[in-house]
Structure 1
């Protein structure tokens, strides 16, 4: 699967993907990532009573990322050295990208 220039998932994976390894050794950050990942999935794929959750799609996750990063730009957010709500959310998006193979390569 080829990525078009400016693909929001490719940009997020390149920027926040390295944070996945930072978070993997800290139990508190792993738990926070789990919660953020669940929140993104719930926003994209609302749970249906008795139904299995379907996989997250590339287009819908890309739309989510565009909306989320547009809001960050509106509030003039600056990425901190540590982990805040936005960096954890974007790092969780990276894990979804990786786990669902949304870039066609390992991220």
Structure 2
């Protein structure tokens, strides 16, 4: 993640920031497409298994909880270009864009 990017943004702000480092709007490499699809499926399963639907509120709540967990574990977003956490966040942002929750 670029230096100075805050992981405390709302869903739309974080999606804009992550669009700068990840391919959220155009073609992507097959390996990354597969990774993002798997992460997105796990996120959707996590949300729907609690009886909720996928909407901007539930996706934002999931994102904030995920980021809180990352910060509690001491995740450093500058340590690796596409680590597991970064891919999960990119998948969440991609879900938000694909479902029309953010532009």
* SS of residue in 2 equivalent to 1:95: helix
The verdict on how the C-alpha distance between 1:43 and 1:21 changes in structure 2, with shifts beyond 3 A counting, is closer
In the TM superposition, what is the alpha-carbon distance from 1:37 to its structure 2 partner? 0.5
Q: Are residues 1:84 and 2:83 paired?
A: yes
Displaced runs of 4 or more, over 6 A: none
TM-score by length of 2: 0.76
- The answer to whether the Cα contact below 8 Å between 1:34 and 1:92 also exists between their aligned partners in 2 is yes
In 1, distance between residues paired with 2:26 and 2:32?
5
**Contact preservation (8 Å) 1:32, 1:88:** yes
Gaps of 5+ in 1: 1-5, 49-53
What's 2:57 paired with? Answer: 59
Give the TM-score, by structure 1 length: 0.74
Contact 1:41-1:56 within 8 A present in 2 as well:
yes
1:36-58 CA-to-partner distances (Å, cap 9, x unmatched) read 00000101113x9xxxxx96201
Secondary structure at the residue paired with 1:29? helix
Structure 2 stretches of 5 or more lacking a match?
Answer: 1-7
Is 1:29 the equivalent of 2:28? no
Aligned length: 94
Q: Say whether the 8 Å CA contact 1:33–1:89 is kept in structure 2.
A: yes
Backbone CA RMSD of aligned residues: 2.7
Mapped contact 1:37–1:93 kept (Cα < 8 A): yes
